[in-house]
Amino acid sequence: MNQPDDSAWNQNYFNYFTEIEEYFRRARGTSLFLLSPLDWALIENWKTAGIPLEAVQKGIDKAFEKWRARKSRHRAINSLAYCAQTVLEAAQQTPRSRERKTTDSPFSSEDIRKHLNQATLSIRNSGVSALGEIAAGLGVLEREAESYTRNLEALEQKLTSLEEKMVAITRSRQSDEDLLAIRQELDGELKPYRGKMTADQISMLERRYLDTALLERAKLPRLSLFYLH
């Protein structure tokens, strides 16, 4: 069985997010525009579902074509959620093919160490003793950073596992009122777009949004390499 080309994964995974962000900005005709947590969660869903970048771009174009064809355009398109249905339609029509490869790692071992070290410090500074195991796990990965520069997929999988544990611990520490407030915020953001998404899309989006909101409220870091600055 052939092993997957990790260099291709490096390129495709991290470029996927940034290229969609830039493409959406150009479609809107505005250079200064920040995607919302809902938008980032949606992009993450598309990536996990294996929707090709080309299909996302086609879906964005189609959504803006429909919007421009309207006689009345009182509201601008301010979220990728508006494009969810057209992206899904484009994905069904776009063959999935391997994207271009690169032999270069997007991050140096020093980049990775810095990212993991900052995350570890943030977790320890939270004062939540239950998160000690997460911080310890990040410390191990930080020491092994050099070995992951050519195997970022393996590192990302380990970071995902640690983040899922961190989210579970954080959720268990929230009151029912806090969790309800987060869900109400999500419902407010999703309300204009529910008719443009499938039930599965909404379910996945809700989960990712809630996980992100929990970490933000607890002032805990996202661990994915996508958040490496």
Mean pLDDT of 182-196: 81
The residues, ordered by sequence, that sit 6+ positions from 116 with a Cβ below 8 Å of its Cβ are 138, 139, 141, 142, 145
Confidence of residue 206 (pLDDT cuts 50, 70, 90): confident
Confidence of residue 14 (pLDDT cuts 50, 70, 90): low
Reported pTM: 0.63
Q: Please check whether residue 14 is in contact with residue 225, taking contact to mean a CB–CB distance below 8 angstroms.
A: yes
Choose between 196 and 128: higher pLDDT.
128
